[in-house]
Amino acid sequence: GEDVEQSLFLSVREGDSSVINCTYTDSSSTYLYWYKQEPGAGLQLLTYIFSNMDMKQDQRLTVLLNKKDKHLSLRIADTQTGDSAIYFCAESRDTGNQFYFGTGTSLTVIP
């Protein structure tokens, strides 16, 4: 598969902003996603972005895409304890077919 890298751990205080970063190598990626996984559960889609977009905002979530550097980030504003989870970025070239997942970032929110 393609290489999709993330930092493993992030710790922030409640109320601060969290920024989770992801880098990928496949320049033909068309769709990029952020998924959230809570302990012992499956993955939940948080947001997505097309490769022809630079930024997308959805309530507390902001996704930034730097296609030139193949860098994707997820910013969570006003981070809450319920945001503690593992966050995966994923990229895909086809419509609904194989996804390549990042290594996952474990976010810990300190009260």
Number of residues that bind another protein (CB under 8 A): 25
CB 90 within 8 A of CB 101: yes
Q: Scanning residues 43 to 82, which ones bind another protein (CB under 8 A)?
A: 43-45, 48
Other CB atoms within a 10 A radius of the CB of residue 13 amount to 10
Asked if 28 interacts with another protein (CB under 8 A), we say no
Q: Which of 28, 42, 59, 111 binds another protein (CB under 8 A)?
A: 42
Asked if 99 interacts with another protein (CB under 8 A), we say yes
* Cβ proximity to another protein, 83 vs 104, nearer residue: 104
Other CB atoms within a 10 A radius of the CB of residue 105 amount to 20
Neighbouring residues of 87: CB distance < 8 A, sequence distance ≥ 6: 6, 20, 34, 35, 36, 37, 46, 74, 104, 105, 107
Given the rule CB under 8 A, which residues bind another protein?
Answer: 1, 8, 31, 33, 35, 40-45, 48, 88, 92, 94-99, 101-104, 106
